[in-house]
Chain A
């Protein structure tokens, strides 16, 4: 059982380059989200999706794009990488309904922008 799979695990970019961070889940979860983790700041929500074709912005969306064409995949695109986007990125998924919310996280992508 794979759960939430993120690729790549590590990436180094130059300022201005673009790239896509991949996220896939095999649990048929409706809700998927992207967070960035920076020292002393916890996890901050970038974008989220409540189902295929539906996305919305989180707390720190600037510089990132997302799309959700299938239930399984939720890629995060950096349009023009900046050093401020150096961070560890986590994708998470959960069922949408129900009173509790167990979000399952991937292992993360460590991104450095030079």
Chain B
């Protein structure tokens, strides 16, 4: 069963656009929600993360919006650049456990 659902599967935007990637979760015990960025041939790397006691977190051009009542969270990339072209994964973690449950991934292409 997929406890974290991610959409869209792929996304193409022009340089300067604002791609938005959405994730929804089912288990209300999740309490930590990171986003990972993966470039071709590389392992995923932590991009930004949020806890459910805040509704938004910004780090540079990357913003997470969190809606606890809807059990949804999303990643926004402001002023996107071709170098942002990568696969993005949302994830969720439960309590003291260290296991992450990942979404299915979104392949983002930013055209020059």
A-to-B contact residues, CB < 8 Å = 4, 31, 33, 35, 40-45, 48, 50, 58, 90, 92, 94, 96, 99-108
Contact = CB atoms under 8 A, between A and B. Distances in A.
A48 B102 contact: no
A37 to B, nearest CB: 8
B98 A96 contact: yes
Contact of B102 (A44, A104, A106): A44
A103 B46 contact: yes
B49 A42 contact: no
22 contacts: A33-B98, A42-B4, A43-B89, A45-B99, A48-B98, A48-B99, A50-B98, A58-B99, A92-B43, A96-B98, A99-B32, A101-B34, A101-B93, A101-B98, A102-B46, A103-B98, A103-B100, A105-B44, A106-B43, A107-B41, A107-B43, A108-B42
Contacts of A101: 32, 34, 93, 98, 100
A85 B43 CA distance: 19
A4 B43 CA distance: 10
Interface of B: 4, 6, 9, 32, 34, 41-46, 49, 51, 89, 93, 98-105
A107 B98 contact: no
A106 B38 CA distance: 11
B98 A42 contact: no
A52 to B, nearest CB: 15
A41 B105 CA distance: 7
A100 B50 CA distance: 9
B98 to A, nearest CB: 5
B29 to A, nearest CB: 15
A94 B98 contact: yes
A90 B99 CA distance: 14
Contact of B105 (A33, A42, A105): A42
Given A48-B98, A96-B98, A100-B32, A43 B49 contact: no
